[in-house]
């Protein structure tokens, strides 16, 4: 995931695996799991998942132009729309410089997004 630039650092990629945000076949995976060509994996991006298909395997980090040779995003249009609406709602509801939303505000935002689906 780090090699194809889904995560900025290897540490962030392994933390996502530890927190069970990376799934293969609906089951959480360890960071050390060996992946194969044509595997489909999901990364949880609240409130939904992004799905990818592995086209090729690389041990080294690659340039952004080479990523389409190794990875194909197969996330459904509905999930992409939900992610887009979530990002838009977060931008519109928070004035710039207001800091992070409180737990209560975050729950209200989640309710708004889920009601629009």
What number of other Cβ atoms are within 10 A of residue 89's Cβ? 15
* Best CA proximity match to 25, nearest among 13, 10, 5, 40: 40
State the pLDDT at residue 46. 85
Alpha-carbon span 114 to 110, nearest angstrom: 6
Alpha-carbon span 34 to 68, nearest angstrom: 20
Superfamily covering domain 1-75 = RNA-binding S4 domain (3.10.290.10)
Spell out the domain ranges in the chain: 1-75, 76-117
Sheet holding 48-54, edge to edge: 27-28, 22-24, 40-45, 48-54, 71-73
Strands 48-54 and 27-28: unpaired
* pLDDT, averaged in runs of 10, over the chain (117 residues): 91 94 94 93 92 93 93 94 84 75 84 69
Euclidean distance between the first and the last CA atom of the chain, given in angstroms as a whole number: 29
> Cα 86 vs. chain centroid, distance in angstroms?
13
Whole-model pTM: value is 0.74
State the pLDDT at residue 67. 93
């Amino acid at each position: 995931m780090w090699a194809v630039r889904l995560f900025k650092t290897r540490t962030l990629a392994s933390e996502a695996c530890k927190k069970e945000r990376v799934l293969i076949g609906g089951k959480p995976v360890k960071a050390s799991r060996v992946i194969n060509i044509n595997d489909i994996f999901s990364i949880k991006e609240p409130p939904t998942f992004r799905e990818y298909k592995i086209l090729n395997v690389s041990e080294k980090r690659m340039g952004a132009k080479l990523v389409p040779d190794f990875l194909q995003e197969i996330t459904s249009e509905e999930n992409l729309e939900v992610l887009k609406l979530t990002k838009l709602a977060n931008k519109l509801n928070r004035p710039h410089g207001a800091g992070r939303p409180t737990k209560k505000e975050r729950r209200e935002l989640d309710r708004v997004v889920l009601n629009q689906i």
